[in-house]
């Protein structure tokens, strides 16, 4: 196969996100032409899109060493670093591209993506606007502006959507963005229609898949409230969001103590305490509970990733065991069944969140922590060891602060250039 024919076929496959077929085609071609740099770059791009991070890194290194000033190589190296959760390294390549050509709108889009990955929404929006000032029809820049502007509540988001759809009314990214914006506005059914259309054009569109999951869950009003809460917390810095969580914790404890000190106020304070604790716990388990529901939905099963399915199944199983133990307690009585019902209910908190962190090291740490909680808590109840039960309860309390700290660092908003 000649290079031109290869590129034509690759463009066709990649427009449909058929990365596996692209990889096979490139491997066949590179077996005959191993030194073709263009094909090598396409191969790096392909394996990066397939999630093969280490292979992409191993491939791009020698190419970058040989072509350190090639804009295409630098751009691809930045994407590899960004996919591997190293936005600071990616930013160095992006800055280098802008030093080479300050009017490179693709480099500005790349910088917008990097800043978005760093949760620096203001800087990301600024780079997207700079790209659009150079090329008003840059679809990627328009989509980034829609996504960030909608998240931040910018008033020109609807106009940007109209402009992007005028440029390409069949762009799956723009349509997915439009659906996500409708979801933010509470127009769930309209959002679902747009998102279904976006995924019919490109089933692998990541924003479309994520927004479709959110929209399916937002059919239930409690989750709509949680969705608003989640977006609101994402607009805060990591320190601010963690500070709110700490403040709520101390606030609940203060109100609880005050109810004990002033019995006349207890009928008014305790319901508030129980409501706050209930809402606090609900923010931990509503996502995996809804994901458990989506396991029974034909769209949900396809959209949930492996980790979401694992957490949803574990939460569903734990809730089922809690219910069985509660029924057993009501029928036969016994402190053990009562304790197990309570334990399985509380264990939904770590079981529904231990795979939430982005970094694998933190996922592994929380996995070990969660297994230890299950063994200590359930084991302590089964052998009637009060010390083990107390350790498990303290560990569960500590778990929430640990996970919130991780979430604050990974998803808290940042500022600066």
Residue 325 has pLDDT above 70, yes or no: yes
Tell me the average pLDDT of the chain. Answer: 89
* Region of poorest pLDDT, from 19-23, 211-215, 320-324: 19-23
CA dist 243 and 301 (Å) reads 36
Q: Where in the chain is the domain with CATH 1.25.40.10?
A: 1-100
Q: What is the pLDDT of residue 268?
A: 83
CA dist 324 and 77 (Å) reads 53
CA dist 83 and 87 (Å) reads 8
Q: What is the pLDDT of residue 333?
A: 85
Q: How large is the average pLDDT for residues 342-346?
A: 92
Specify the length of the chain in residues.
417
Burial of 221 (0-12, 13-18, 19+ CB in 10 A): exposed
Q: What is the pLDDT of residue 18?
A: 83
CA dist 126 and 155 (Å) reads 15
Question: Which tens digits make up the pLDDT trace of 132-167?
Answer: 999 999 999 999 999 999 999 998 999 999 999 999
DSSP track, 137-164? T-HHHHHHHHHHHHHHT-TTHHHHHHHH
DSSP track, 347-390? THHHHTTTT-SSSHHHHHHHHHHHHHHHHHHHHHHHTT-HHHHH
Q: What is the pLDDT of residue 1?
A: 65
Q: Does domain 1-100 have CATH number 3.90.1150.10?
A: no
Question: Which tens digits make up the pLDDT trace of 239-292?
Answer: 777 677 778 778 888 888 888 888 888 888 888 888 887 777 777 778 888 888
Quick one: CA dihedral 266, 269, 274, 277, positive or negative? Answer: negative
Q: Report the predicted TM-score, pTM, of the whole model to 2 decimal places.
A: 0.85
Burial of 59 (0-12, 13-18, 19+ CB in 10 A): buried
Q: What is the pLDDT of residue 63?
A: 92
């Amino acid at each position: 196969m000649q290079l031109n024919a290869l590129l034509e076929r690759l463009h066709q496959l990649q427009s449909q996100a058929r990365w596996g077929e692209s990889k096979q085609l490139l491997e066949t071609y590179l077996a005959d032409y191993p030194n073709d740099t263009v094909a090598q770059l396409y191969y790096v791009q392909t394996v990066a899109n397939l999630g093969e991070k280490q292979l992409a890194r191993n491939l791009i290194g020698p190419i970058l060493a040989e072509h350190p000033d090639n804009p295409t190589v630098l751009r691809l190296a930045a994407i590899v670093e960004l996919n591997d959760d190293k936005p600071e390294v990616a930013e160095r390549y992006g800055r280098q591209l802008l030093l080479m050509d300050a009017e490179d709108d693709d480099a500005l889009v790349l910088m917008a993506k990097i800043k978005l990955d760093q949760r620096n929404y203001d800087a990301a929006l600024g780079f997207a606007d700079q790209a659009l000032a150079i090329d008003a029809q840059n679809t990627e820049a328009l989509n980034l502006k829609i996504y960030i502007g909608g998240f931040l509540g910018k008033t020109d988001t609807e106009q940007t959507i109209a402009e992007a759809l005028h440029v390409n009314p069949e762009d799956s990214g723009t349509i997915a963005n439009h659906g996500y914006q409708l979801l933010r506005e509470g127009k769930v059914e309209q959002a679902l229609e747009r998102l279904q259309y976006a995924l019919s054009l490109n089933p692998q569109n990541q924003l479309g898949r994520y927004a479709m999951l959110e929209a399916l869950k937002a059919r239930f009003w409690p989750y709509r409230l949680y969705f608003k809460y989640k977006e609101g917390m994402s607009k805060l810095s990591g320190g601010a969001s963690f500070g709110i969580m700490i403040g709520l914790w101390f606030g609940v404890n203060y109100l609880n103590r005050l109810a004990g000190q002033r019995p006349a106020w207890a009928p008014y304070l305790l319901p508030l305490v129980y409501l706050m604790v209930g809402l606090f716990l609900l923010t931990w388990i509503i996502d995996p509970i809804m994901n458990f529901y989506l396991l029974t939905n034909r769209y949900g099963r396809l959209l949930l990733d492996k980790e979401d399915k694992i957490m949803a199944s574990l939460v569903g199983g734990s809730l089922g065991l809690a219910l069985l133990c509660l029924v057993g307690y009501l029928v036969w009585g016994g402190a053990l069944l009562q304790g197990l019902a309570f334990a399985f209910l509380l264990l939904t908190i770590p079981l529904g969140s231990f795979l939430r962190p982005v970094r694998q090291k933190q996922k592994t740490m929380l996995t070990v922590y969660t297994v230890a909680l299950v063994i200590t808590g359930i084991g302590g109840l089964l052998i009637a060891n009060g010390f083990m039960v107390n350790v498990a309860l303290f560990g569960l309390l500590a778990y929430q602060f640990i996970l919130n700290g991780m979430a604050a660092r990974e998803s808290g908003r940042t500022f600066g250039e």
